[in-house]
């Protein structure tokens, strides 16, 4: 195992242990997502025809809104006792710090999304187990897009007073292409349509977005954090 990977996993493990002790971000995001899903179920009065058209959009909107609570805490928790300055002064390179933070956020977001998916299936009577394998692939690739962009902008806004407001303002416009792809793919899968040539373009959009923004995050996190 390379030194870079060990350093990244060390940072990820540190963040996950810190979150497990307090559960601040995870509990807040889970409660928020459940409230949104319940409100959607009452406001929309879902029926099978509507869910075939809008299920993916509703689900990813919940992921996007609740995920901001997790991502916002990524670098903010390091502000106490100048922990961020200590991390930047440590032998861990900023790229490894970024990847480690992203991996921890990814684990938390996937946990959040799996709970939301189960609740979504119950409240909206959606049988998502029929295409569970392809659905997990779409969620995994789409969630990494949200994670890598959110982690980068979390580093960018960490010193702002209104970072809780600025993070969604910056992240949501950037997430339009991958969210569009994830929503279309998820809607197709929940409607019983398998992945094929007709929707494989959107998988390529997600994978390309993930690769490009992962490389951008690794390349520019040093400038974002240190200046």
Sorted by where each begins, the domain ranges of the chain are 3-226
Q: What is the pLDDT of residue 85?
A: 78
Q: Comparing 110 with 43, which gets the higher pLDDT?
A: 110
Query: Which structure tokens are listed for 218?
Result: 């690794």
pLDDT in tens, 36-83: 998 888 887 767 677 777 888 889 999 999 998 889 888 877 777 777
Report the alpha-carbon distance of residue 16 to residue 23 in Å, rounded. Answer: 9
The average pLDDT across 197-206 equals 87
Report the alpha-carbon distance of residue 63 to residue 139 in Å, rounded. Answer: 10
Report the alpha-carbon distance of residue 90 to residue 82 in Å, rounded. Answer: 13
pLDDT in tens, 139-167: 999 999 999 999 999 888 877 777 778 88
The answer to whether 213 and 152 are in contact (CB under 8 A) is yes
Residue 203's pLDDT band, with cuts at 50, 70 and 90, is very high
The answer to whether 31 and 23 are in contact (CB under 8 A) is no
| DSSP percent split of the chain into helix, strand, coil, nearest 5 | 85, 0, 15
Q: Comparing 44 with 169, which gets the higher pLDDT?
A: 169
Report the alpha-carbon distance of residue 100 to residue 31 in Å, rounded. Answer: 26
């Amino acid at each position: 195992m390379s030194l870079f990977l060990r350093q990244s996993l060390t940072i990820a493990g540190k963040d996950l242990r810190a979150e497990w002790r307090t559960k601040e971000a995870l509990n807040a995001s889970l409660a928020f997502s459940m409230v949104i899903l319940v409100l959607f179920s009452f406001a929309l009065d879902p029926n099978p025809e509507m869910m075939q058209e809008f299920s993916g959009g509703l689900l990813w909107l919940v992921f996007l809104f609740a995920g901001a609570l997790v991502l916002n805490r990524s670098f903010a928790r390091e502000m106490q006792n100048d922990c961020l300055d200590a991390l930047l002064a440590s032998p861990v390179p900023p790229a490894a710090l970024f990847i480690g933070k992203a991996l921890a956020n990814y684990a938390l977001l996937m946990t959040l999304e799996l709970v939301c998916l189960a609740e979504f299936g119950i409240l909206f009577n959606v049988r998502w187990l029929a295409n569970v394998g392809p659905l997990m692939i779409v969620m995994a690739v789409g969630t990494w897009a949200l994670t890598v962009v959110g982690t980068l902008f979390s580093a960018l806004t960490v010193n702002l007073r209104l970072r809780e407001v600025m993070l969604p303002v910056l992240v949501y416009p950037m997430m339009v292409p991958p969210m569009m792809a994830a929503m279309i793919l998820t809607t197709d899968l929940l409607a019983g349509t398998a992945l094929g040539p007709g929707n494989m373009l959107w998988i390529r959009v997600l994978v390309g977005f993930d690769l490009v923004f992962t490389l951008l995050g690794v390349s520019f996190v040093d400038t974002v954090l240190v200046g």
